[in-house]
Structure 1
Amino acid sequence: MIVNTSHFVLKLAETEQERAAAQRLRYRVFVEEMGARPAFDGDVANREVDAFDPYFDHLLLIDTRIEDSENNVVGAYRMMRSETAAQGQGFYGAQEYDLGPIIRSERAAVELGRSCIDPAYRNGIALHLLWQGVADYVLRNRIELLFGVASFAGTDPHDYAQGLSYLHHKHLAPPSLRVRAREACCVGMDIVAAGDIDPLVAVRQIPALIKSYIRLGGWVGQGAYVDRDFNTIDVCLVLDQQRIPAKQRAQLLRGRAA
């Protein structure tokens, strides 16, 4: 566990009550804010839940100033290791991407997903604290590869033509780790030719989470996946933890629990 001595606690969920608090945050962000369609029972319980949740470890960022324990989770991430996926029902991302390159690599991997932060905390250190928690998890479990889908809001790729094209031309994964979007909902990311990209416009279009992966040395897979149930355009990010630049690695490990 990592504790920020002011008012944040970063930890893995240990109880069903803590997991439920994360699912309530996910409901507020993904369903109420972004217009996602709940997988099941979401409208009844005000929780965004799916069949993969029991197989994930759930990283929580808790604001201890909020006395309501059902709603004090202000940031969340979920993480599934490759051995858990192999023993259970596989990776969530396999619904959207052919993850064969990652699986065939036989390297220790973790799937990251459902990253969300309460709107009131998005301009602070919340995302950095979540990444500290991920770094701690990766080191403790000797993870080599990190991957997962991250989203652009909406379902029209042309709204993000510059950003998607920038990712494709500048940060496409090498062939050995190049996962590919499933055919049924795949759209090409090379909407704009490399020479016609305006880097300033492109970077503005890319969500903060995706930019975090790229700053850490991450790549994107081939093609984007249009998820109409979730009202998003998803890209699959792949990160080899050995490629994380020394400066960013030091920043992530600052405050790591012993």
Structure 2
Amino acid sequence: MLSLRRGRYASRIAETEADFAAAQTLRARVFPTDAARKADPFDDHCIHVLVEDTQTGTLVCCFRLLHLFSGREIERSYSAQFYDLSALQTFNGPMVELGRFCVDPDTADADILRVAWGAMTAYVDGQGVEMLFGCSSFAGTEPSAYADAFAMLRDKHLAPDRWLPCVRAPKVFAFAKRLDMRADPKHAQAQMPPLLRTYLVMGGWVSDHAVIDREMGTLHVFTGLEIRAVPPGRARLLRAMAG
């Protein structure tokens, strides 16, 4: 289900200790903090997916999937440590939390993301998942570095009221209240992390605040995507990649 290939890249499920060690090493390169290098309690409950360069055997991307049968299980998620997700407890369909999404910073190839999203699409379709969610991270902990991106998120991509996460973390940047910020579209797109950019083009939405996570050395927003909201053309492309 999660094994597919495009060009020189292929995805598969992590199985061995060597697989998990490689994923931890890549995590440490993308999130260079002590917290990122270590396994956490959520790792044991997730499916871990690897994307490898088949010509060199190098790991170029990894992520993990936590399956929830409905919103009633939302407090089991990693994201629930940082966001009050009470509104999502009423979501009735299967959900998957996408976490620890890492791409090798030295490998710039769009096919890597295509393989990763193709694998996720195969899982979503195979399991009847109705919502994909997680934390989308900006490098660093200074909100002013991403003023244009946050202004665009405020103006165009906030969660619908029925699902809007509330504040739980002790330190946040409430960008939805910052009416003094203005978005330059070109700068905003350049500042968006690739994972978040992909969520948004598929119809995803974000929390109205970013968590300032000094332990991980990031700013992150809660990101949700209702599968039925994915534009038909985009859904066809994703399923073509998963096929």
If the length of structure 1 is used for normalisation, what is the TM-score? 0.85
How far is 1:199 from its partner?
1.9
Task: State the one-letter code of the partner of 1:213.
Answer: Y
Question: Within 1, Cα distance between the matches of 2:203 and 2:117?
Answer: 14
Aligned to 2:106, the other structure's residue is in SS state helix
Task: State the one-letter code of the partner of 2:22.
Answer: A
**1:37 and 2:46 matched:** no
Q: Alignment partner for residue 56 of structure 1, among 37, 43, 46?
A: 46
The residue aligned with 2:193 is 207
Of stretches 10-19 and 238-247 in structure 1, the one that deviates more from structure 2 is 10-19
**1:90 and 2:76 matched:** yes
CA contact (8 A) 2:157 2:205 kept: yes
Of stretches 51-60 and 177-186 in structure 1, the one that deviates more from structure 2 is 177-186
Question: Within 2, Cα distance between the matches of 1:129 and 1:218?
Answer: 19
The residue aligned with 2:134 is 148
Question: Within 1, Cα distance between the matches of 2:44 and 2:74?
Answer: 10
Aligned to 1:230, the other structure's residue is in SS state coil
Question: Within 2, Cα distance between the matches of 1:221 and 1:128?
Answer: 25
Question: Within 1, Cα distance between the matches of 2:174 and 2:146?
Answer: 12
The residue aligned with 2:55 is 65
The residue aligned with 2:99 is 113
Aligned to 2:110, the other structure's residue is in SS state coil
CA contact (8 A) 1:77 1:112 kept: yes
Of stretches 188-197 and 230-239 in structure 1, the one that deviates more from structure 2 is 188-197
How far is 1:13 from its partner?
1.7
Instruction: Could you tell me which runs of 5 or more consecutive residues in structure 2 were left unpaired when the two chains were aligned.
Output: none
The residue aligned with 1:23 is 24
How far is 1:152 from its partner?
0.8
CA contact (8 A) 1:77 1:114 kept: yes
How far is 1:9 from its partner?
1.7
CA contact (8 A) 2:71 2:89 kept: no
Question: Within 1, Cα distance between the matches of 2:162 and 2:239?
Answer: 28
1:100-143 Cα offsets, whole Å, 9 max, x none, are 22222222111011111112323331112101111111111110
Q: What aligned pairs does 1:146-185 form with structure 2 within 5 A after superposition?
A: 146-185=132-171
Question: Within 2, Cα distance between the matches of 1:74 and 1:137?
Answer: 20
Question: Within 2, Cα distance between the matches of 1:204 and 1:98?
Answer: 29
1:194-223 Cα offsets, whole Å, 9 max, x none, are 883322222222111111100000000121
Q: Alignment partner for residue 211 of structure 2, among 225, 228, 242?
A: 225
Runs of 4+ in 1 over 4 A off after TM superposition: 84-89
Cα 1:151–1:108, aligned 2, differ >3 Å: closer, same or farther?
same
Question: Within 2, Cα distance between the matches of 1:191 and 1:160?
Answer: 15
Cα 1:195–1:88, aligned 2, differ >3 Å: closer, same or farther?
closer
The residue aligned with 1:45 is none
Task: Name the Cα RMSD after superposition.
Answer: 2.3
CA contact (8 A) 2:4 2:115 kept: no
1:1-36 Cα offsets, whole Å, 9 max, x none, are 4332643221122333322221221122211xxxx2
CA contact (8 A) 1:161 1:191 kept: no
The residue aligned with 2:61 is 75
If the length of structure 2 is used for normalisation, what is the TM-score? 0.90
Question: Within 1, Cα distance between the matches of 2:126 and 2:235?
Answer: 15
Cα 1:130–1:120, aligned 2, differ >3 Å: closer, same or farther?
same
How far is 1:49 from its partner?
1.8
CA contact (8 A) 1:155 1:228 kept: yes
**1:129 and 2:129 matched:** no
How many corresponding residue pairs?
242
